């Protein structure tokens, strides 16, 4: 009988240890992210972090202020500027028109904008606008092309403005109408086109200069030309819904989505490391490692917002970091975003066979 009880106790001890290890394996990233967000050197964090997998929230935390002057505490559902995350939204809307047959990706944009005054409209295609191989300047539409269209990469907000003109012309709808309907389809009830009314929902962006001086921006100075590639209003939970819509073929046919994440050009970005990765349509595609990664960044020091949206298709995991502050010193601009990405990529969340 004593032997029986001894074995019984050993069995439960082993079970307890196994369950404890199971719990540790289940989440080996939350405490690390918590510790990271407490750092103040080389800079402080002010924003929202959300990690979602298979429809379940794995981590969600707001840290800092939505209004720095009033010391209003930031909430997870607060609204941020997408910055350049808007590019994947514009690209999706254009691809929906491609599916309808109203836009051909390989047709020169002169076909859609016959009165456009720029001669390069005769050669640049919608495809080249979407994957940043048009040769257009980043911000000035009047500057000469940097290279023959299709031969190199140059990140261009102006390219997305031109693509937006094609989108509105061929869809016979305004960008505001298209974005509003798209957000509604994805259940993004806390996200908006930045008209005068909706812009009041936005958190206050803070710009931090290299000399340490700061400025809270009471409103953004972007005009309507920037919205196609640089500014929409979203909450972080809604951005996770966006990922679930886009990457689960709810917005595009599988063949069209495959085209969106295919690439013919590569480029480097510090968030993704030093090696070049692919650039599709408004999305960077990192298929150079064992963990497939699709995402984009957004950053504007003058407006005071930093954004990163990453998606890992194998485990259906979203990693989203949005800050309502931006550092002019680009060497530390993505400090926390890089750190969180590293923690998650090394965690059991992406590497466990069971994906617990």
One pLDDT digit (tens) per residue for the chain, 356 residues:
455 444 445 444 434 433 343 344 458 999 999 999 999 999 999 999 999 999 999 999 999 999 999 999 999 999 999 999 999 999 999 999 999 999 999 999 999 999 999 999 999 999 999 999 999 999 999 999 999 999 999 999 999 999 999 999 999 999 999 999 999 999 999 999 999 999 999 999 999 999 999 999 998 888 888 999 999 999 999 999 999 999 999 999 999 999 999 999 999 999 999 899 999 999 999 998 899 999 999 999 999 999 999 999 999 999 999 999 999 999 999 999 999 999 999 999 998 644 44
CA distance 264 to 68: 43
Domains located in the chain, CATH noted: 29-350 (3.40.710.10)
Sign of CA dihedral 63, 51, 308, 232: negative
User: 48: helix, coil or strand?
Assistant: strand
Query: In the structure encoding, which two tokens stand for residue 15, read together?
Result: 């079970």
Cβ(191)–Cβ(234) below 8 Å: yes
Query: 212: burial class by Cβ within 10 Å (0-12, 13-18, 19+)?
Result: exposed
User: Structure pTM?
Assistant: 0.91
Looking up tokens 């595609």 gives: 285
Backbone angles phi, psi at 75, to 5 degrees: -115, 155
CA distance 30 to 26: 10
pLDDT at position 9 is 52
CA distance 48 to 236: 7
pLDDT at position 351 is 85
**Whole-number Cα distances in Å, 355 to 26, 53, 91, 296, 317:** 8, 9, 31, 24, 10
Cβ(319)–Cβ(296) below 8 Å: no
Query: In the structure encoding, which two tokens stand for residue 237, read together?
Result: 């939970």
Backbone angles phi, psi at 13, to 5 degrees: -65, -45
């Amino acid at each position: 009988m004593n032997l029986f009880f001894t074995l019984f106790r050993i069995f439960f001890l082993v079970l307890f240890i196994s369950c404890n290890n199971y719990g540790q394996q289940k989440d080996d990233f939350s405490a690390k992210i918590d510790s990271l967000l407490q750092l103040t050197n080389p800079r402080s964090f002010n924003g929202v972090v959300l990690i979602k997998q298979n429809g379940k929230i794995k981590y969600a935390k707001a840290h800092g202020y939505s209004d720095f002057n009033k010391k209003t505490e930031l909430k997870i559902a607060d609204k941020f500027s997408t910055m350049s995350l808007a590019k994947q939204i514009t690209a999706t809307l254009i691809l929906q028109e491609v599916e309808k047959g109203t836009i051909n990706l390989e047709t020169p944009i002169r076909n859609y904008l016959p009165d456009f005054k720029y001669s390069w409209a005769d050669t640049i295609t919608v495809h080249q606008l979407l994957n940043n191989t048009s040769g257009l300047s980043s911000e000035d539409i009047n500057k000469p092309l940097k290279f023959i269209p299709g031969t190199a990469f140059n990140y261009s907000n102006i390219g997305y403005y031109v693509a937006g003109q094609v989108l509105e012309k061929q869809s016979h709808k305004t960008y505001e109408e298209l974005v509003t309907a798209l957000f509604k389809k994805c259940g993004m009830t806390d996200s908006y086109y930045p008209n005068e009314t909706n812009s009041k929902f936005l958190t206050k962006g803070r710009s931090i200069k290299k000399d340490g001086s700061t400025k809270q921006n009471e409103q953004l100075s972007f005009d309507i030309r920037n919205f196609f590639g640089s500014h929409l209003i979203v909450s972080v939970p809604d951005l996770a819904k966006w990922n679930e819509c886009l990457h689960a073929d709810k917005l595009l046919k599988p063949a069209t989505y495959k085209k969106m994440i295919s690439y013919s050009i590569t480029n480097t970005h510090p968030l993704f490391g030093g090696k070049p990765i692919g650039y599709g349509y408004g999305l960077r595609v990192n298929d150079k490692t064992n963990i497939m990664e699709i995402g984009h960044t957004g950053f504007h020091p003058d407006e005071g917002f930093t954004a990163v949206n990453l998606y890992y298709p194998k485990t259906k995991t979203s990693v989203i970091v949005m800050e309502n502050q931006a550092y002019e010193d680009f060497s530390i601009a993505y400090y926390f975003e890089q750190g969180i990405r590293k923690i998650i990529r090394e965690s059991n969340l992406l590497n466990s066979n069971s994906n617990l």
